[in-house]
Amino acid sequence: MEETYRETLTIEPLALRDRLSLKASDENRQGEVYPEYSEEMKATPLHRKFYIESYGCQMNFSDSEIVASILMKDNFIPVEKFPDADLILINTCAIRESAEQKIRQRLTEFSKVKKKNPDALIGVLGCMAERLKSRLLEEEKIVDLVVGPDAYRDLPSLIARAEDGQKMVNVLLSREETYADISPVRLSSNGICAFISIMRGCNNMCSFCVVPLTRGRERSRDPYSIVKEAENLFDQGFREVTLLGQNVDSYSWKNEVTNESVTFAQLLMKVALIHSDLRVRFSTSHPKDITAEVILAINKCPNICSYIHLPLQSGSSAVLQRMNRTYTREWYINKVDTIRSLIPGCGISTDIIAGFCGETEEEHFETLEVMDYVQFDMGYMFKYSERPGTPAARKMKDDIPEQTKNFRLQQIVDLQHRIQVINNSREVGKQVRVLAEGYSKRSKEHLFGRSSENKVVVFPEGGFKKGDYVNVKILGYTSATLMGEAI
- The least CB distance from residue 202 to ligand SF4, in Å, is 3
Torsion angle, alpha carbons of 448, 450, 455, 459, to 10: -30
Residue 118 DSSP SS3: coil
From the list ligand SF4, ligand 5AD, none, partner contacted by residue 216 (C-beta under 5 to 8 A by kind): none
- Site track for ligand SF4 across 145-184, x = CB under 6 A: ----------------------------------------
- Site track for ligand SF4 across 270-289, x = CB under 6 A: ----------------x---
Q: How far apart are CA 409 and CA 283, in angstroms?
A: 24
Size of the site for ligand SF4 (CB under 6 A): 11
Whether residue 25 contacts residue 437, with contact meaning beta carbons closer than 8 Å, is answered with no
From the list ligand 5AD, ligand SF4, none, partner contacted by residue 204 (C-beta under 5 to 8 A by kind): ligand SF4
Helix axes 292-300, 264-272, angle to 10 degrees: 10
- The least CB distance from residue 209 to ligand 5AD, in Å, is 4
Whether residue 85 contacts residue 267, with contact meaning beta carbons closer than 8 Å, is answered with no
From the list ligand 5AD, ligand SF4, none, partner contacted by residue 202 (C-beta under 5 to 8 A by kind): ligand SF4
Residue 317 DSSP SS3: helix
Please say which residue, 23 or 395, places its beta carbon nearer to ligand SF4: 395
Q: How far apart are CA 306 and CA 453, in angstroms?
A: 5
Question: Concatenated DSSP letters for 142-171?
Answer: T--EEE-TT-GGGHHHHHHHHHTT--EEE-
Torsion angle, alpha carbons of 447, 449, 451, 455, to 10: 100
C-alpha distances (whole Å) from 383 to each of 13, 22, 240, 406 are 18, 17, 32, 7
Q: Is 216 in the site for ligand SF4 (CB under 6 A)?
A: no
Q: Which of 401, 474, 392, 382 is nearest to 431 (CA)?
A: 474
Backbone angles phi, psi at 436, to 5 degrees: -70, 130
- The least CB distance from residue 352 to ligand SF4, in Å, is 12
From the list ligand SF4, ligand 5AD, none, partner contacted by residue 207 (C-beta under 5 to 8 A by kind): none
From the list ligand SF4, ligand 5AD, none, partner contacted by residue 382 (C-beta under 5 to 8 A by kind): ligand 5AD
Q: Is 56 in the site for ligand SF4 (CB under 6 A)?
A: no
Which helix (H) or strand (E) element contains residue 54?
strand 48-54
Contact residue for ligand SF4 among 66, 202, 243, 482 (CB under 6 A): 202
Whether residue 425 contacts residue 477, with contact meaning beta carbons closer than 8 Å, is answered with yes
Q: Is 2 in the site for ligand SF4 (CB under 6 A)?
A: yes
Tell which positions 323-352 bind ligand SF4, by CB under 6 A: none
Tell which positions 236-265 bind ligand SF4, by CB under 6 A: 246-247
- Strand-strand pairing, 219-220 and 199-200: antiparallel
Torsion angle, alpha carbons of 130, 135, 136, 140, to 10: -170
Q: Is 212 in the site for ligand SF4 (CB under 6 A)?
A: yes
From the list ligand SF4, ligand 5AD, none, partner contacted by residue 246 (C-beta under 5 to 8 A by kind): ligand SF4
Question: Concatenated DSSP letters for 438-480?
Answer: EE-SS-TTEEEEE-TT--EEEEE-TT--TT-EEEEEEEEE-SS
Q: Is 381 in the site for ligand SF4 (CB under 6 A)?
A: no
Q: How far apart are CA 190 and CA 50, in angstroms?
A: 21
Please say which residue, 208 or 327, places its beta carbon nearer to ligand 5AD: 208
Please say which residue, 105 or 291, places its beta carbon nearer to ligand SF4: 291
- Site track for ligand SF4 across 399-438, x = CB under 6 A: ----------------------------------------
From the list ligand SF4, ligand 5AD, none, partner contacted by residue 459 (C-beta under 5 to 8 A by kind): none
Half-sphere exposure of 313 (CA within 13 A, CB side): 29
C-alpha distances (whole Å) from 430 to each of 40, 85, 347, 362, 473 are 47, 49, 15, 38, 6
- Which residues make up the interface to ligand 5AD (CB under 6 A)? 2-3, 95-96, 208-209, 311, 313, 351, 353, 382, 384-385, 387
From the list ligand 5AD, ligand SF4, none, partner contacted by residue 470 (C-beta under 5 to 8 A by kind): none
Q: Is 1 in the site for ligand SF4 (CB under 6 A)?
A: yes
Q: Is 199 in the site for ligand SF4 (CB under 6 A)?
A: no
Q: Is 209 in the site for ligand SF4 (CB under 6 A)?
A: yes
* Window contacting ligand SF4 (CB under 6 A); options: 32-40, 204-212, 419-427, 474-482: 204-212
- The least CB distance from residue 58 to ligand SF4, in Å, is 13
Gap between the terminal Cα atoms of the chain: 40
- The least CB distance from residue 248 to ligand SF4, in Å, is 11
Contact residue for ligand SF4 among 122, 169, 211, 457 (CB under 6 A): 211
Q: How far apart are CA 122 and CA 135, in angstroms?
A: 15
Give the single-character DSSP code of 186.
-
* Window contacting ligand SF4 (CB under 6 A); options: 20-28, 58-66, 116-124, 198-206: 198-206
- Provide the binding-site residues for ligand SF4, judged by CB under 6 A: 1-2, 202, 204, 206, 209, 211-212, 246-247, 286
